[in-house]
Amino acid sequence: MMKNYIRGLGIAIVAVMAMGSVNTAQAEKIRIAGNFAVEHSSSKAMEIFKTELDNLTGGKLTADIFPAMQLGGAKENVDQVRSGAIMGTWIGISYLSRTVPELEAVSLPFAFANREQAFKVIDSGVGDLLNKKLAEKGFTTLGYMELGSRNVTNNVHPLKTIEDFKGLKIRMQPNETHLASFRSIGASPLPMGIKEVYSALQQGVLDGQENPFSIIATKRFNEVQKYLSDSGHFFDFIVVVASKKKFSKLSATNQDAVRTAMAKAIAWQRSKAADEDTASRDALIASGMQFDPISAEVRAQLKSATAGVVVDLKKKIGSDIIDAVLKELK
């Protein structure tokens, strides 16, 4: 009788272990990396995505999130997605513009009056066109968060007139439209990875840089910069992309779960971004930066000086998508 009990117990243990093996085999995990700081709203949104995905799939599909350049900088993350080393990344849209030049259509200088207008454009047919172009390069688009209006800081003088921009060595993202726009107003833009910027400012290699207030704050550029503006020369998006090949291997149910979870995370981030922007600006001023708003007159002069950039961009990527952007702006 004891032998039968032991035999039965052994069979039960094996059965439980087998069930555990099946459950483990059925569970899938995806990895998503980004270069934004842990405290940035986009990184917090990705944690919401992680929780939602786990809830929606009952733990059958989970996500590991790597913010703050844990798996490398923006370029490395894009390369990892393209190679299939990771499932996806959330990244400033400019870092994909060399792969998908059409993304520059939403980087027109001084085009967006506010965030509402910017999201009206990206959530329209314009976004659909961009998603198609991204798909052609091997990316599945999961949505767009707010990076925000980009503003110039520098260590030379306040920016009050168009002449104040002339000759300034300003770090820019690797986006040809961004670079061309600043050349057209007389500045000396330099493309550079974000992780190198702090030391370059500290050592005087750069006079300034441009970023949304939230990035200026989380990267602590106020420690090495004196003058702060609200130039708002570009409105920047964070695009969430996945490897098209890896995403297509997920079941239809899991694909839907990823999209649903990401939609909730993106909606949350957009709702927080405005408050984050204002709070970051106020914190930068409180830390000792001198804030000088750009007047409407000077902003109009800057827009006029960069008008040729839009003409040149039409020649580069075609007029269809730019016309679609301009139509939405009207």
Give how far Cα 68 sits from Cα of 43, 71, 73, 275, Å. Answer: 8, 8, 8, 21
> Cα-flanking dihedrals φ and ψ of residue 306, to 5°?
-100, 5
pLDDT for 6 equals 45
User: Within the chain, which residues score under 70 in pLDDT?
Assistant: 1-25
The model scores a pTM over 0.85: yes
pLDDT for 2 equals 44
Residues contacting residue 133 through CB under 8 Å, at least 6 positions apart: 100, 102, 103
pLDDT for 12 equals 47
Amino acid found at 12: A
CB 89 within 8 A of CB 31: no
pLDDT for 14 equals 44
Q: Beta strands of the chain (E only): which ranges?
A: 28-34, 61-66, 88-92, 139-149, 151-154, 169-172, 188-191, 208-211, 227-229, 235-243, 290-292
State the Cα–Cα distance between residues 213 and 211, nearest whole angstrom. Answer: 6
Residues contacting residue 153 through CB under 8 Å, at least 6 positions apart: 208, 209, 210, 211, 216, 221, 222, 225, 227, 228, 229, 289
Domain map (residue ranges) of the chain: 29-329
State the Cα–Cα distance between residues 246 and 145, nearest whole angstrom. Answer: 22
CB 322 within 8 A of CB 101: no
Q: Which tokens hold the place of 33?
A: 């990396």
pLDDT tens per residue across span 61-85: 999 999 999 999 999 999 999 999 9
pLDDT tens per residue across span 151-207: 999 999 999 999 999 999 999 999 999 999 999 999 999 999 999 999 999 999 999
pLDDT for 22 equals 40
Is beta strand 61-66 parallel, antiparallel or unpaired with respect to 28-34?
A: parallel
Residues contacting residue 1 through CB under 8 Å, at least 6 positions apart: none
- Looking at domain 29-329, does it have CATH number 3.40.190.170? yes
